[in-house]
Structure 1
């Protein structure tokens, strides 16, 4: 259990989940270097290795910072671990950081400023920079994902697909988190997406100013999400949880609900087809891509579908979103 503190509650709580044996130093150091100093960081150790747990505890102890707190939750899934830490958090806003990633300088101050300027907002969002798997702070990013999304009501945008790469680019208001409830533990894929939609049902979002990223996201080679995304059964529970939420139809009305549901299904089919293609299952991938375009045709998707059919005749440099994963 976490210790009880008599000190005033911090402004922000960072929920940092350790999901593998990857070093956590970049994440810790990026938080300790932030301009905004009024925070606590709950580092969740959900692994089952006593050796790894001892190494993590020693890493935290070397920082000698009382704002770092360790929560040991052996054998729990990501959803349960996050929800437990969020219930323990004392800050008025929360950020969910994967310890494989790290925050950009000034990220917390920028996110907090955006959230404070919009009292009605459920959270604030910023952009991220995608880094190579073996990258370190200061390395050149592979690409930048600009903020792109505006401030305001993002519910319909989120229903069609998840535009947020990771929870580390979001600062969530405590009251909204409490109203939304915990993450759903049975969702192995799309759990974050479902949660952002639940939050969006409660109110609008704020956006940080400027194009500079707030998060450096380390690319995961062979991550489980890529493997599961090619299986329609993997995303089905999330789709059921999202579209089975009665508050959604009440908010949108029946006609708009059905329109957006069709678009979301088409987007899911496109993602599945794209992942099948990237895993070398070309025939099954093309079938999904064709179904997506038939359900929600756009000129861009029609062109990409034509390119997908011509893929064997194109050099790898032109394979675009269908380029095969290494190995």
Structure 2
């Protein structure tokens, strides 16, 4: 890449006390088959060795900026402001980008100039990473081909920002991430982005390995069993332009689905982290608070299959004892 050429795509990585995993994220970007990129790392006021790790990599495509600690949304917006590329992907500091992700995504956006974004599959991996004994399950979910916004209103169908490549001008046009949201800020941002048009799905591409950490911000912010945190859902349904697209009845139905899905996602997370008592509490409370869950067979299937796949290795180990 010459000093006069623009990168094809930007990767923005917010990093707060991410020294343990940041190098793996950086190296996953360096392994990309698409070589013409810029990687913007925003050190969000870290107090560990995050800055040292970021600066230790000798690569002219990497830009490291340090800001005071203002949260992940502020850091992502700072990265977005500094992008030079026409496309941007937000990769968290503890996740791993698959080698062909950027090339496939850029190709798709080049072929669909009217779409604000494209998205692919993700795979969840344990906190320690993947070793040869760990059976990684390929995603079986079908990405929606159209009506992106409608699907997002009922469920976070993207889950991880590393599986989404966005036109930089579109991300800026909708104002970036809401800095006052501490949970689901990406989901709310994607809903505003989907108001611009459908995202192009890349069904057979696994773009990112999503690390499941026990101290992740999402788990800490989810609220309690009886008082789940639906701040993100409320923020999504406060988006003014939704009322211009859908009836109040349709919005109320999708909002109920979003709360149900968010609740059971929290339950499944507890099971995945082997917090069986909390999972049991979610199960009994959920059947009382959300009895209409049983009227959603797709939700039940995703819940059971996800719980089974996520705990297959644990069950196998118990059976061998």
Normalising by structure 2, what TM-score? 0.82
CA–CA distance in structure 1, aligned partners of residues 227 and 215 of structure 2:
19
State the Cα distance separating 1:102 from its structure 2 match: 1.7
Secondary structure at 2:262 match in 1: helix
Secondary structure at 1:208 match in 2: strand
Q: Any stretches of 5+ residues in structure 1 without a counterpart?
A: 308-315
State the Cα distance separating 1:228 from its structure 2 match: 2.7
Secondary structure at 2:138 match in 1: strand
- Match of residue 189 from structure 2: 195
Match of 2:208 among 204, 208, 215: 215
| Comparing 138-147 and 263-272, the one that deviates more | 138-147
- Match of residue 312 from structure 1: none
- Match of residue 296 from structure 2: 298
CA–CA distance in structure 2, aligned partners of residues 240 and 301 of structure 1:
21
How many equivalent residue pairs? 305
Secondary structure at 1:195 match in 2: helix
CA–CA distance in structure 2, aligned partners of residues 164 and 300 of structure 1:
17
State the Cα distance separating 1:213 from its structure 2 match: 1.1
CA–CA distance in structure 2, aligned partners of residues 317 and 272 of structure 1:
15
Secondary structure at 1:163 match in 2: coil
CA–CA distance in structure 2, aligned partners of residues 302 and 167 of structure 1:
25
Alignment deviations for residues 229-271 of structure 1 (CA, whole Å, 9 cap, x no partner): 2437663321221111121121112232222122223323434
CA–CA distance in structure 2, aligned partners of residues 59 and 137 of structure 1:
26
Change (3 A) 1:43 1:142: same
Alignment deviations for residues 127-150 of structure 1 (CA, whole Å, 9 cap, x no partner): 122222222698855323356213
Contact 1:47–1:74 at 8 Å: present in 2 too? yes
Alignment deviations for residues 24-60 of structure 1 (CA, whole Å, 9 cap, x no partner): 22222222222212211101111332x6255224422
- Match of residue 311 from structure 1: none
- Match of residue 100 from structure 1: 94
State the Cα distance separating 1:21 from its structure 2 match: 2.4
| Comparing 284-293 and 149-158, the one that deviates more | 284-293
CA–CA distance in structure 1, aligned partners of residues 123 and 301 of structure 2:
28
Alignment of 1:265 onto 2:252? no
Match of 2:26 among 9, 25, 28: 28
Kindly report which structure 2 residues correspond to 1:120-135, keeping only aligned pairs within 5 A, or say none: 120-135=114-129
Flag the structure with larger Rg: 1
State the Cα distance separating 1:122 from its structure 2 match: 1.2
Contact 1:229–1:235 at 8 Å: present in 2 too? yes
- Match of residue 244 from structure 1: 238
Normalising by structure 1, what TM-score? 0.81
Match of 1:174 among 154, 164, 168: 168
Q: Any stretches of 5+ residues in structure 2 without a counterpart?
A: 316-321
- Match of residue 18 from structure 1: 15
State the Cα distance separating 1:6 from its structure 2 match: 6.5
State the Cα distance separating 1:276 from its structure 2 match: 6.9
State the Cα distance separating 1:114 from its structure 2 match: 1.2
